[in-house]
Amino acid sequence: MSTPGTTRGTGTARSGGSPLALGIAFLTLLLIGTDLFLVSPLLPAIAAAHGVSTGAAGTSVTAFSAAYVVGAPLGGALADRVGRRGVLVVGLTGFALANVLTGLPLGFAVLLVARVLAGLFAAGVTPSLLALVGQSAPPARRGVWLSTAMAGFLVSLTTGAPTGTAVAAALGWEAAFLGLGVLTLVLAVVNRFTWPRGAGAVAAAPGARKLPLTTKLRAASVTGTWAFAVYSFYTYLGAGLADVAGFTTGTTALALVVYGLGAVAGSLSGGTLADRHGAGRVVATSLLVLGVVLLVVDALLGAPAWLLIACLGLFALLAYPCLPAYQSRLVATFPAESGSVLAWNSSFMYLGTSLGSAVGGLLLSAGFRWIPIAGAVAAALGVVVHHRWSLPGRPVEVAA
């Protein structure tokens, strides 16, 4: 059986696996995340510029997400077949041009097309890059490498998006997208020379067969339940803190900052814990504990602000190790088709987030307190799915 560092069934040998490559991966996902989180606060300005309602402008977010969900499995499969570096560079180039198109005054219809293109190209970037990181990492530190790369995405929530919003306030919302386009184009060139030629191209193991779609869907289901549990709660957290806990705007902002810091710290720690204690154990523990802490948060909504804020930070710290740890396990379990499996994993994260937001919105009409309970149930379901159904017992050698 081949290992993730060999050409048989896993692509090229581990080369380019340097701290510099890891830093480039971090910055790349930072820009992808900044684009995703930047649109929502700019919707009023976009709506005013194009003469549409804010709700209509919001369809640009839906267009991006839908394109990503549809495009990610296709991009991941293509990356496994023709090489992950090539798909990564093409994806970044297209993503850069789509952002430039978003910022040009060509009408709202063109903007929607640009957001669809941005989602499609981003769908090729994220799984290709994560597969490259997982393939290039030293096996004993794969979890740390993947969690560091993913931290770029999470950091964008607390630093990248506010920075982009500040640029938009000073120079106009168009400048924010044009700037993202230029920076992404620079990173496309940098990634082109960071990863070796043919990096990620997969060679078939003798007698191996293509991984069934049902196996990929089962593998991605854990991330879907995790995303539902976390984002059904996070999406309406601001409303819950204001309406139920009685937080002021400033206190709510502080709570969200503490949550964001906890999420980044949790994501970074997830890789270290996975490498030290085993990815499966970290995933199961994180899902179980985040469900318990959601119930604690629900019980503390009437508690002093400092206690509730501390609990929110603890929740994020304990919830976010799950994602990088599980990605590490996916790369180890499906070395030959890690790009495709990680792509489906990304799609399920978006699906879980969207479904969680929708269910949370329905529950909000009955009271915010029901949302943490629903999240806790989803987390418990995730533990069962992970333990009993999601993954085979050992690495799978397949042809792309």
Same domain, 170 and 273: no
Same domain, 177 and 253: no
- Condensed to tens digits (0 to 9), the pLDDT of residues 236-265 reads 888 888 888 898 888 888 888 888 889 889
Which residue has 């479904």 as its token pair? 355
- Condensed to tens digits (0 to 9), the pLDDT of residues 290-320 reads 999 999 999 999 899 999 999 999 999 999 9
Question: Would you say residue 106 lies in a domain?
Answer: yes
Question: Would you say residue 175 lies in a domain?
Answer: yes
Domain that holds residue 179: 19-194
Count how many domains the chain has.
2
Average of per-residue pLDDT values in the chain? 84
**Per-residue CA distances from 394 to 44, 105, 253, 334 (Å):** 50, 53, 44, 9
Per-residue pLDDT, 199: 55
- Residue predicted with more confidence, 60 or 306: 306
| Percent share of the chain, pLDDT over 70 | 90
H-helix or E-strand containing 166?
helix 161-171
- Output the DSSP codes for 180-215: HHHHHHHHHHHHHHHSPTTTTPPBPPTT--PPPHHH
Same domain, 178 and 59: yes
pTM for the full predicted model: 0.77
Name the H helices within 51-106: 54-57, 59-82, 84-103
Per-residue pLDDT, 9: 38
Question: Would you say residue 71 lies in a domain?
Answer: yes
With CA atoms as reference, report the closest residue to 96 among 75, 114, 78: 114
Is residue 207 pLDDT above 60, yes or no? Answer: no
- Output the DSSP codes for 220-289: HHHHHHHHHHHHHHHTTHHHHHHHTS---HHHHHHHHHHHHHHHHHHHHHHHHHHHHH-HHHHHHHHHHH
Question: Would you say residue 204 lies in a domain?
Answer: no
Query: What confidence tier does 83 reach under pLDDT thresholds 50, 70, 90?
Result: confident
The mean per-residue pLDDT over the stretch 129-135 comes to 87
Query: What confidence tier does 219 reach under pLDDT thresholds 50, 70, 90?
Result: very high
